[in-house]
Amino acid sequence: MTRSALLLALGLSLGSASVSRAQTGTPSGTVRTDTIWSQSLGVYKALVVYLPPSYRANARTRYPLLVYLHGRTGSERNWVDAGWLHLTMDSLAHTGAPEAIIAMPDGDDGWYATWNQLGDVNACRADTTRREPAATYCVPWTRYDDYIARDIVSHMDSRYRTVARRESRGIAGLSMGGFGAITLALQYPDVFAAAASHSGVVSPRYLGPKPFAPPPRYANTTAELQASARNLWSDLRWVMGKDTIGWNARDPGHMAQRLQQLVQQRAASAGPRLPQLMFDVGADDAYVDQNRDLHATLTRLGVPHRYAEWPGAHTWSYWQTHSAESLQFLLGNVAGR
C-alpha cells in the first residue's frame, strides 16, 4: 500500500496524521499519566501511557509494548499533545491493525544515554529559565538508557498487561528521541526487537560533505564535535564527553557494527539478534545528511534496515504525518509474537 493510500485508509489527510474521534467514529483508547520512581536516575518521573480501545473490555488479553521518545526540550506529553499519536493508533486499530500499549516517558534533555561526563547538578538546580521543575529534571545519576530499557519497561510489564518479552517490544522517537530509539535498540537487543526514528540525530559526529557524499568526514576533536553539534552542544557535550572512545560508544553506526560482529561471532548459539530498524527524515531537515550517512553506513555493513526521505522539515507537521508509518513498522515486527 502506498503512503497516500495508507493515510486515506486511516481517514487522514496528507497534511495531518490524525483526525478527531468525532470525525472518524473510532473506538478510543485511554491516555493516563503515571508517576514512577527511576532507580537509574534517582528521581520520580512522569510517564504518559496509552491503553488501546479493547484494554478494559478484554481483561485477559496481553499487548505488545511500544515506547515513544520525545525530542530535545520536549516532554512526556509531546507525542499526545502535538503528535496526536493516540488518535493515530486508534485509527490504525479501527482499520484492523494490531493494538498495542504505548509508553511515553519524560527523557529531559538526556539523549537517552548514560552520559560520558556527570552534569553540574547544582547549576541545573539554580537555572530559573527552565520550565520543568529541578526536582524531576536535575537528576543525580544520568543513566537515561537504563531508565528507559530497565525502569520504564519493568514498570510497564508489572503494571499493565504487556507481552513481557523482547519479541513484543518496539521503540521509536523523533530528533533526540530518534537517536535514543536507534541506540537503545542496538544497546539492548535483549529488550527491543525493533526501532524507528523520525528526523533523528543519528550521526552526531558527521561533518560533511553537505549534501552527503562519500567519503564522509567525522569529528575527531572536541572543537569539531562542537561544530557538528551546533545548538545541541549545551547538553550533548555531557553525553559525548571529551574522549573519542566515548564518542564511538554512543555513535549509532559504531554501535550497529559492534552488535553485528557480536551476532556473527555467536551465530551458532542463542546470542543477541539485530533489531529491525527503520528511519526517515524530511528532505529539508537540518539532519538529513546525518540520516543519509547512517543509511550509507548500515548499507556498507550489511545491516538490514528501512530508510526513506520525504518532503518536509524538522516540524510537528512532518512527525504527525509519518507517525502512522513508524507505528505500522513496529507493529509489523512485534505484534502477535
107: domain range? Answer: 3-334
Checking 247-252 for CB contacts under 8 A at 24+ apart, the result is 247/204, 247/205, 247/219, 249/116, 250/113, 250/116, 250/183, 250/204, 251/203, 251/204, 251/205, 252/179, 252/182, 252/183, 252/186, 252/202, 252/203, 252/294
Number of domains the chain contains: 1
Record the pTM.
0.91
Pair 333, 170: CB distance under 8 Å: yes
What does each of the 337 residues of the chain score in pLDDT, given as a tens digit?
334 343 434 444 333 333 444 444 668 999 999 999 999 999 999 999 999 999 999 889 999 999 999 999 999 999 999 999 999 999 999 999 999 999 999 999 999 999 998 878 888 999 888 888 999 999 999 999 999 999 999 999 999 999 999 999 999 999 999 999 999 999 999 999 999 999 999 999 999 999 999 999 999 999 999 988 999 998 899 999 888 888 999 999 999 999 999 998 887 667 789 999 999 999 999 999 999 999 999 999 999 999 999 999 999 999 999 999 999 999 999 975 5
| Cell numbers linked to 278 | 527503520
Q: Which amino acid is at 60?
A: R
CATH of the domain at 49: 3.40.50.1820
